[in-house]
Structure 1
Amino acid sequence: MQRLGEFIERQHSSSLPSHELSTQYDTSLSGNFTDFCLDRPYIRSHDRQMAVKLDRIDCRILDELQKDSSQSQRSLSDKVGLSQNACWRRLKALEASGVIKRHTVVLDRDRLGVGLVVFSMIKTRHHSAGWLKTFRMHVSAIADVVDFYRIGGEYDYLLKVVTRDMASYDEVYKRLIENIELETVTSFFAMEAIEEQRPIPFG
Structure 2
Amino acid sequence: MDKIDQRILTLLQKDATLTIAQIAEQAGISSTPAWRRIRKMEEDGVIDRRVTILNPEKLNLGLTGFVLIRTSDHSDQWLKDFAAAVSQVPEVVEAYRTTGDVDYILKIVAPDVAGYDQIYKRLIAAARMNDVSASFSMERLKDTTELPLTYAAG
Q: Closer, same or farther in 2 for the Cα pair 1:128/1:74, shift >3 Å?
A: same
Q: How big is the shift at 1:180?
A: 2.4
Q: Hey, what's the Cα distance between the residues in 2 that align with 1:135 and 1:60?
A: 39
Q: TM-score scaled to structure 2, two decimals?
A: 0.92
Tell me what 1:124 maps to: 71
**Where do residues 61-76 of structure 1 align in structure 2 (5 Å cutoff)?**
61-76=8-23
Tell me what 2:112 maps to: 165
Runs of 4 or more off by more than 6 Å in structure 1?
A: none
Tell me what 2:7 maps to: 60
Does structure 1 residue 150 correspond to structure 2 residue 113? no
Amino acid at match of 1:158: I
Q: Hey, what's the Cα distance between the residues in 1 that align with 2:88 and 2:13?
A: 29
RMSD (Å), alpha carbons: 1.3
If you compute each CA radius of gyration, which structure gives the higher value, 1 or 2? 1
| Greater share of helix | 2
Higher relative contact order (CA 8 A, sep 6+): 2
SS at 1:61 equivalent:
helix
Q: How big is the shift at 1:198?
A: 5.6
Structure 1, unaligned runs of 5 or more = 1-53
Q: Hey, what's the Cα distance between the residues in 2 that align with 1:96 and 1:152?
A: 32
Structure 2, unaligned runs of 5 or more = none
Q: Hey, what's the Cα distance between the residues in 1 that align with 2:17 and 2:143?
A: 20
Q: Which moved more, 1:97-106 or 1:146-155?
A: 97-106
Q: Closer, same or farther in 2 for the Cα pair 1:175/1:61, shift >3 Å?
A: same
Tell me what 2:137 maps to: 190
Q: 2:121 aligns with which of 147, 152, 174?
A: 174
**Where do residues 69-84 of structure 1 align in structure 2 (5 Å cutoff)?**
69-84=16-31
Q: Closer, same or farther in 2 for the Cα pair 1:176/1:110, shift >3 Å?
A: same
Q: 1:141 aligns with which of 80, 88, 91?
A: 88
Amino acid at match of 2:141: I
Tell me what 1:91 maps to: 38
Q: How big is the shift at 1:67?
A: 2.2
Tell me the alpha carbon deviations over residues 68-119 of structure 1, each in whole angstroms, 9 at most, x when there is no partner: 2101111111111222111100000111111111111111111121111000
Q: In 1, are the aligned partners of 2:62 and 2:109 still within 8 Å (CA)? A: yes
Q: TM-score scaled to structure 1, two decimals?
A: 0.70
Q: Hey, what's the Cα distance between the residues in 2 that align with 1:121 and 1:65?
A: 33
Q: In 1, are the aligned partners of 2:14 and 2:146 still within 8 Å (CA)? A: no
Tell me what 2:50 maps to: 103
Tell me what 1:14 maps to: none
